[in-house]
Amino acid sequence: MHLIKNGADDLYSAVLHALPDAEREALGFPHPGQGSALKDRVRAQPLFPRTQVSQHLEQPVVALDFKSPMELTYGRVSYPLLGADAPDKSVSSIEALVHELYPSLNTLERARVMSSLPSTEVEAREVIAHRTREWHALRDDMELWTLNAPATNQRTGEMLSPNSIIARVQDRRAFSHELERAYRRQTAFDNHYADPARDGFELTFTRILIEDMPTINADFSHVTYLSLNGQGAITGINEFLQHFPGLRVLELRNFELDRLPDAVFTMQNLTELRLENSAITLTPESASGLAGLERLEYIDLDNNPLNITPDFSNMPNLNTVHLHNTELSVFPSTLLGLSELEIIDLSENLITHLPSELFEAPAYITSGLDLEDNPLSEDSLERVREYFAQTDIDMNIQLEDEDAIEQVVVSESEE
Q: Which DSSP string corresponds to 41-70?
A: HHHHSPPPPHHHHHHHHTPPPPPTT---TT
pTM: 0.74
Query: For a pLDDT cut of 70, what percent of the chain falls above it?
Result: 82
At residue 52, does pLDDT exceed 90?
A: no
At residue 412, does pLDDT exceed 80?
A: no
Q: What is the mean pLDDT of residues 394-410?
A: 64
How is residue 297 annotated by DSSP? S
Q: What is the pLDDT of residues 332-374, one digit of tens each?
A: 999 999 999 999 999 999 999 999 999 999 999 999 999 999 9
Q: What is the mean pLDDT of residues 203-217?
A: 95
Number of DSSP helices (H) and strands (E) in the chain, helices first: 14, 9
* The pLDDT value given to residue 408: 45
Residue 223, CA distances (Å) to 53, 79, 188, 218, 349 in order: 48, 46, 10, 12, 35
Burial class (CB in 10 A: 0-12, 13-18, 19+), 172: buried
At residue 86, does pLDDT exceed 80?
A: no
Task: List the domain boundaries for the chain.
Answer: 9-44, 174-412
3-class SS at 114?
Answer: helix
Q: What is the mean pLDDT of residues 244-263?
A: 96
For residues 164 and 130, the answer to whether their CB atoms sit within 8 Å is no
What is the strand order of the sheet 249-256 is part of? Answer: 189-190, 200-209, 223-233, 249-256, 272-274, 298-300, 320-322, 343-345, 369-370
163: left (phi over 0), alpha (psi -120 to 50) or beta: alpha
Strands 189-190 and 200-209, how do they pair?
A: antiparallel
pLDDT: is 17 or 347 the higher one?
347
Q: How many CB atoms lie within 10 A of CB 45?
A: 7
At residue 81, does pLDDT exceed 70?
A: no
At residue 153, does pLDDT exceed 60?
A: yes
Nearest to 309 by CA among 348, 340, 335: 335
> Which residues have CB under 8 Å from 382's CB, separation 6+?
none
3-class SS at 406?
Answer: helix
Structurally, what CATH architecture does the domain formed by 174-412 represent? Alpha-Beta Horseshoe (3.80)
At residue 400, does pLDDT exceed 80?
A: no
